[in-house]
Amino acid sequence: MSAEQFLGTTGVVRRPVDGPESERASRAWWDADAADYLAEHGRDIGDVDFVWCPEGLREADARLLGDVAGARVLEVGCGSAPCARWLSAAGASAVALDLSGQMLRHAAELGESTGVRVPLVQAGAERLPFADATFDVACSAFGAVPFVAEPERVMREVARVLRPGGRWVFAVNHPMRWMFSDDPGPDGLVVQQSYFDRTPYVEVDDAGRATYVEHHRTLGDRIRDVVAAGLVLDDLVEPEWPEGRELVWGQWSPLRGGYFPGTAIFRTHRP
Ligand SMILES: C[S@@+](CC[C@H](N)C(=O)[O-])C[C@H]1O[C@@H](n2cnc3c(N)ncnc32)[C@H](O)[C@@H]1O
């Protein structure tokens, strides 16, 4: 049974969704979808690998986090935690956090099967259960940030748990993708709605309850969230679709990747 069937999703609406409703919907969605998500994307994200985005950019090549050997690293919205295991294998002391118990169950199983075990924490990214200045580095590959109603709270929380000088690097859907439908084909090249419309995308059940939520921020909003949290923006990486990469990953495809970016990676640090 698909996550939509399990959750009784019957439609899509655009309406405001507050923090608690977003968190409830995300937990239910990612719990229900964890097995399907991994069946579909598990091979592409790997078991002990750090792939930043559907464009296939790997931390092993990009080194956006700098030298992680010996560093205390937090992965936010880790899913099945392949990135945290890669960090651990690279010599970091990695902690993997996610809202979804089912995602973390897969993370625990993969920890056993790969022999690379990392501490797993179930919590929401807007309230990180760690003391101030606990980590040297924090990272997220499409985890949490696109799904929360108040991403500025995530930025503040990550800034709080980072030590001064610590780095926070996170990847999200490139904001310009909001204008288009999630179609990887030619229909996904046609503007459907305003880039400036921040009204969330909400899948709902018969009673109108949210079963899946995505929130939109413009590029300027994301930068303001970073700066307001007291962080310094060092770089904004827009990975290009590599020549010859044939993968279709949800809305990401070679066709669309040839025209516009699909991923934005913010590289920041706490001064
Ligand atoms: C697209 S998956 C990406 C996970 C991982 N990087 C991967 O590629 O498998 C998004 C993850 O973010 C988690 N997530 C969503 N909202 C969250 C929140 N508010 N706090 C923490 N994790 C959250 C989901 O449970 C899910 O595991």
- Domain encompassing residue 259: 3-269
Q: Please report the pLDDT score of residue 3 as a whole number.
A: 96
Ligand 1, atom 14, lies closest to the CA of 144
Spatial CB neighbours of 62, under 8 Å, sequence gap ≥ 6: 52, 237
Distance 115 CA to ligand 1 centre (A): 23
Ligand 1, atom 11, lies closest to the CA of 143
Spatial CB neighbours of 244, under 8 Å, sequence gap ≥ 6: none
Tell me the whole-structure pTM to 2 decimals: 0.97
Q: Please report the pLDDT score of residue 21 as a whole number.
A: 97
Please report, for the domain that includes residue 227, its CATH number.
3.40.50.150
* Domain count across the chain: 1
Spatial CB neighbours of 95, under 8 Å, sequence gap ≥ 6: 72, 73, 74, 75, 84, 118, 119, 121, 135
Q: Please report the pLDDT score of residue 252 as a whole number.
A: 97
Contact 263, 236 (CB under 8 A): no
Q: Please report the pLDDT score of residue 253 as a whole number.
A: 97
What token pair was written down for 211? 């079963």
Ligand 1, atom 7, lies closest to the CA of 79
Q: Please report the pLDDT score of residue 144 as a whole number.
A: 96
Three state DSSP letters for 116-161: CCCCEEECCCCCCCCCCCCEEEEEEECCCHHHCCCHHHHHHHHHHH
Question: Tens digits of per-residue pLDDT, 126-170?
Answer: 999 999 999 999 999 999 999 999 999 999 999 999 999 999 999
| Amino acid residing at 90 | A
Distance 246 CA to ligand 1 centre (A): 25
Which residues' Cβ are closer than 6 Å to ligand 1? Answer: 23, 26, 30, 45, 77-80, 98-100, 103, 124-125, 141-144, 147-148
Distance 99 CA to ligand 1 centre (A): 7
Q: Report which secondary-structure segment, H or E, holds 62.
A: helix 59-62
Distance 260 CA to ligand 1 centre (A): 24
Distance 145 CA to ligand 1 centre (A): 8
Ligand 1, atom 16, lies closest to the CA of 144
Contact 55, 251 (CB under 8 A): no
Ligand 1, atom 9, lies closest to the CA of 79
Given a cut of 70, the residues of the chain with pLDDT beneath it are none
Distance 100 CA to ligand 1 centre (A): 8
Instruction: Number of helices (H) and strands (E) in the chain: give both, helices first.
Output: 8, 10
Q: Please report the pLDDT score of residue 197 as a whole number.
A: 98
Q: Please report the pLDDT score of residue 72 as a whole number.
A: 98
Length of the chain in residues, anyone? 271
What token pair was written down for 92? 């970091």
Q: Please report the pLDDT score of residue 182 as a whole number.
A: 94
Which of 38, 74, 99, when mutated, tests ligand 1's pocket best, judged by the most ligand atoms within 8 Å of its CB?
99
Q: Please report the pLDDT score of residue 79 as a whole number.
A: 98
- What one-character DSSP code corresponds to residue 271? -
Q: Please report the pLDDT score of residue 255 as a whole number.
A: 97
Q: Please report the pLDDT score of residue 82 as a whole number.
A: 98
Q: 163 — phi, psi (to 5°)?
A: -75, 155
Smallest CA-to-CA distance from 236 within 225, 253, 222, 216 is with: 222
Q: Please report the pLDDT score of residue 175 as a whole number.
A: 98
Q: Please report the pLDDT score of residue 183 as a whole number.
A: 96
Distance 43 CA to ligand 1 centre (A): 17
Q: Please report the pLDDT score of residue 180 as a whole number.
A: 97
Q: Please report the pLDDT score of residue 130 as a whole number.
A: 98
Q: Please report the pLDDT score of residue 237 as a whole number.
A: 98
- The 3-state DSSP class for residue 211 equals strand
Which of 23, 29, 30, when mutated, tests ligand 1's pocket best, judged by the most ligand atoms within 8 Å of its CB?
30
Distance 143 CA to ligand 1 centre (A): 4
Distance 75 CA to ligand 1 centre (A): 10
What token pair was written down for 134? 């606990």
Ligand 1, atom 27, lies closest to the CA of 79
